[in-house]
Amino acid sequence: MSKNSPLGGEARERLLSRVDTMRKSGVAAQPVRPAAATGDKRFTDFSTLPGYEELRVQRSIGDKFGLENPYFRMHDARAGATTEIDGRTLINFSCYDYLGLNGHPEVVEAAKTAIDRYGISCSASRIVAGERIAHRELERALAAHYSVDDAVVFVGGYITNVSVISSLAGAKDLVVSDAVVHNSAVVGSVLSGASRRSFVHNDLDNLEQVLAANRGKYERVLIVVEGLYGMDGDFPDLPRLIDIKNRYNAWLMVDEAHALGVLGSRGGGSAEHFGVDPRQVDVWMGTLSKTLSGCGGYIAGSSTLVDYLKCLSGGFVYSVGMPPLIAASATKSLEIMHREPERVATLHRNAAHFRKVAKEKGLDIGSSVGTAVSPVVVGDSISAVILSQQLFKRGINVQPVLYPAVPAKSSRLRFFLTAMHTEAQIDTAIEALVEERANIPESMRSMKIPGYA
């Protein structure tokens, strides 16, 4: 690696130290056993990879009982509050377009203008290929949104968490995260080589217990939470988190992927919802795929943080730059969100209506507080798949979330509410769900599922 590389010198040594730490702890690949050199297909057949057999068994069970695969369905056109699948129009609750900005005429025009000016791709990383004004306009807009110094955008949302967390923490540090934080944050913590602890979901007393017992053992401590949890539709107490991180001399990182455009009267996110100064949070992370009509991730914070990540975070340094058309689309979407707060108000009304009617009908919405993410907990995975399948037949597209993505016996249907839905569409979906839930025992008997003969 060249001494002029963005990961040269001290940063390079730190990276190598992490790799060595992971190797010693068994994270890195171990020497191949002699049997691998004898032609044993167990070491060359992809179907022997961990988890694949379980996947095969799950699919065979579905085939046996006539359960359709609810995933990877082909949409015929843009999906919003409704969508077209196989020539049918369905009420759609499976897309993140919370404020209905994907396909907005101004957003489309911004994308077309960017294509005319820049083409499609940056063709290399921004360090190699140079900057595009579309990137800096988006980053300035995001920084202004959070009232912080600067921001940096990454080509992928998942890689943002993985790369940033693994860049900020090292072998002498500690990462403490909510027990249900997104997988990308967990992977980033593992790759950092830091020690890791989790606390009970949204239990800040437990977080304090973890910090009291461990803070003195480490140099840096990073606390990672989500501003709005994408599986449960609830959120943490941000003011208390800020107080805790200050008292324990830690960094606080808040993942705003589902919170931007959803929380706060104008969609400002967690800080606006709680009325706190966003500069009190060290690292704001978010994605562009929910409210902002694009894809990719961002970090907003101090100029030093952003400078560090742009030069030393592998997910930025070694990845192609975000396509300019995506950056331009996201910038325009953020502008419209600020200009038209009535979209946020409509989303809030729809989410509150869903929660009210669902509770009146006796549905289990878990810890959801009535936001754009509104789960209905079913219990076992088969019931969740059957419900999704039956609702699809009735013209309602909503996806099941199954174990191990959620804890055992808490499989659910996850409804994404948007500003574009109507109360009539919500009522129709809930009424159909209640009816089909009552039919679950009979559906299982007709499918000859064991225990329901």
What are 296-319's pLDDT values in tens digits?
Answer: 999 999 999 999 999 999 999 999
DSSP annotation of 75: B
**Cα(418)–Cα(78) distance, rounded to whole angstroms?**
14
Per-residue pLDDT at 106:
98
pTM, two decimals, is: 0.88
Print the domain residue range for 298.
105-339
Which pLDDT does position 18 carry in this prediction?
52
Over 80: is that where the pLDDT of 238 sits? yes
Query: Which of 42-51, 61-70, 85-94 is the least confident region?
Result: 61-70
Q: What share of the chain in percent tops pLDDT 70?
A: 91
Same domain as 269, residue 145: yes
Same domain, 289 and 428: no
- Residue 324 located in a structural domain: yes
Whether residue 84 is contained in a domain is answered as yes
- pLDDT over 80 at 249, yes or no: yes
> Which of 285, 309, 339 is a domain's end point?
339
Q: How many domains does one find in the chain?
A: 2
Within this chain, do residues 62 and 116 fall inside the same structural domain, yes or no? no
The pLDDT, as a whole number, for residue 404 is: 81
How far is it, in rounded angstroms, from Cα 438 to Cα 379? Answer: 14
Q: Which of 339, 367, 384 is the last residue of a domain?
A: 339
Question: Do 429 and 330 fall into the same domain?
Answer: no
pLDDT, tens digit (0-9, with 9 covering 90-100), for 105-125 = 999 999 999 999 999 998 899
Residues 282, 303 contacting (CB under 8 angstroms): no
pLDDT(103) > 60:
yes
Q: What was the pLDDT predicted at 70?
A: 86
pLDDT at 28 over 70: no
Per-residue confidence (pLDDT) for residue 7, from 0 to 100:
44
**Do residues 147 and 241 both lie within one domain?**
yes
Q: Is the domain of 228 the same as that of 246?
A: yes
pLDDT at position 60? 79
Say which residues have a Cβ less than 8 Å from residue 262's Cβ, sequence separation at least 6.
Answer: 98, 228, 269, 290, 291, 344, 347, 371, 372, 373
User: Are 327 and 218 members of one domain?
Assistant: yes
334 & 351 share domain: no
Q: Among the residues of 267-323, which ranges form H helices?
A: 270-274, 303-312, 314-317
Can you tell me whether residue 259 is helix, strand or coil?
coil
Answer yes or no: is pLDDT of 24 > 70: no
